[in-house]
Copies of this chain bind each other. A is one copy, B any other.
Amino acid sequence: MALPSSTYPRRLLPLFLGLFQGALLLFFALFVIYDEPSAQAEDTSLVANQVYSTFPFFQDIQVMLVVGLGLLLTFLPRYGFSALTHNFLLLNFSMQWALVLQGLLHHFHHGQIHLDLHKLLISEFAAVTVLISVGAILGRASPCQLLIMATCEIPIYLASEWVIVTCLGVLDVGGTITIHVFSCYFGLGVSKALFRATQQPLHPKETPTTSSDLMSLMGTLILWVFWPSFVAVLCQPGDAQHRAILNTLLAMSASALTTVVASSLLERDGKLSPGHLQNGSLAGGVAIGVVADMAMPPVAALALGSLSAVVCVLGFRFLTPLLRRKLTLHDQCGIHNLHGLPGILGTAASVVAVLVASKDPSGSQPSQLSPAGGNASEVVEGQRWGRGVGGQALCQAAGLAVAIGASLLAGLLSGAALRLPCLARPPERLCFDDSLYFRIQDQAESPGPDSSAEEGALALKEQV
């Protein structure tokens, strides 16, 4: 079981990351500063209130990404340590990379970049796309490949987000289109280009065990709890934010229940599938993001949550096997079912919400439509064009088309780049195994009494 250690690719990871850290330091040294401390007492109080109103949301989102999403990915029983660490590494790398690119793109013409919590939050949102896309190829890609993928994805995300939100004026406060749909099809594109037409066989280490399923469910529950913070953090404080929180809570709750119904009806014996639970419970949160702060009745949030859970479970049951057979499309975590389908459903709901709101007598004011937070200025710009309600509905659909088209194309190209031999894609028999990347206690290396019987038994079987 001694692993072949080709020295060259092993050194690529620290080299790449080290150079990136150096460049980051240089960039920060030259261009990034903090705001001057304000002299007036009122300003101090204003800053303090901004911190108190944003920081708890920010921390919730950090917990979601670092702990919740990390745990969700630990369903591969012998790949948990890698999943958790790679998720953590990619979050930090992508966040820093997004910070650099955003600084260059949006703020460079002001000379110096003033760093604040809001800019970090926006970069964190960019990093989320990478963490989602990785799900399509989890366990079969090396850390170097993942980093290259992040390097490609972040600028394309920023460009696509700029087109969708700023140019098209799409309303998408929770990032359903810009984050979830985009990252899903980017990940699928990468997977398609990376694995091409080769059918990936079921790997013996790919099947979850009870304890790895339990850890993964824990991750789902943590994501489920904190999801309202993710959707509502960029909403305008006040009614819009309050409504976004309530809509998200209702949608997530309906998702959880409907997942049980759908999974139980689809599986033989009526037994529930852990994978359905782990993903379906979150589908409502993906779908609700695009309409969370719009003027719509509470029942719409419940219905959307239920519907997206059904779509997600159906996707796992029928669409994923179909895509694997017909298109040889490999989707390890089922991101198409959790992020793609509910995202499209949510966009459709936003079109309906925009159209209905115009006929609603109480919804005749345009203020009811306006989203908030980071996107407020761009929407104002969009409305300056005098676009009517039908125009806004068209734009929502156009935004979806842009997100899918751009991400698929970019994903295919990025995936082709990941085939470079120097990126050290692991051989099939070493996939899904922590011991390829970590100095983890392993039976073959140190057969002491401390290695668990489980590993011992597995090793024995493999030696036979």
Contacts and interface: CB of A to CB of B under 8 A. Distances in A.
A246 B209 CA distance: 40
A115 B243 CA distance: 9
A456 B455 contact: no
A115 to B, nearest CB: 5
B217 A261 contact: no
A125 interface: no
Given A21-B306, A297-B34, A213 B440 contact: yes
A240 to B, nearest CB: 7
Given A14-B270, A34-B297, A81 B210 contact: yes
Contact of A84 (B214, B242, B449): B214
B450 A299 contact: no
A136 to B, nearest CB: 21
B209 A452 contact: yes
Nearest to A77: B450
A205 B207 CA distance: 24
Interface in A390-425: none
A291 to B, nearest CB: 13
A19 B110 CA distance: 58
Interface stretch (A46-54, A157-165, A328-336, A374-382): A46-54
Nearest to A207: B450
Contacts of A228: 59
Contacts of A45: 237-238
A130 to B, nearest CB: 14
Interface stretch (A185-193, A249-257, A351-359): A249-257
A145 interface: no
Given A241-B48, A246-B116, A217 B260 contact: no
Contacts of A274: 81, 438-440
Nearest to A18: B261
Nearest to A277: B85
The CB with the most chain B CB atoms within 10 A, among A3, A210, A256, A458, is that of A210
A13 B264 contact: yes
Contacts of A55: 56, 245
Interface stretch (A23-31, A167-175, A176-184, A339-347): A23-31
A208 B52 contact: no
A405 to B, nearest CB: 32
Interface in A410-464: 434, 436-441, 446, 448-458, 461-462
A232 to B, nearest CB: 9
A452 B268 CA distance: 24
Contact of A448 (B60, B207, B269): B207
A89 to B, nearest CB: 6
Interface in A255-276: 256-258, 260-262, 264-265, 267-274
A225 B67 contact: yes
Interface in A229-244: 229, 237-243
A265 B204 CA distance: 31
A152 interface: no
A84 B17 contact: no
B306 A217 contact: no
A195 interface: no
Interface in A36-77: 36-38, 43-45, 47-48, 50-53, 55-56, 59-60, 62-63, 66-67, 70-71, 74, 77
A105 interface: no
Given A21-B261, A51-B237, 5 more contacts: A13-B260, A14-B264, A29-B297, A36-B362, A78-B210
Interface of A: 3, 5, 7, 10-11, 13-14, 17-18, 20-21, 24-25, 28-29, 32-38, 43-45, 47-48, 50-53, 55-56, 59-60, 62-63, 66-67, 70-71, 74, 77-78, 80-81, 84-85, 88-89, 92-93, 95-96, 115-117, 120, 204-211, 213-215, 217-218, 221-222, 224-226, 228-229, 237-243, 245-246, 249, 253-254, 256-258, 260-262, 264-265, 267-274, 277, 281, 295, 297-299, 302-303, 306, 362, 367-368, 434, 436-441, 446, 448-458, 461-462
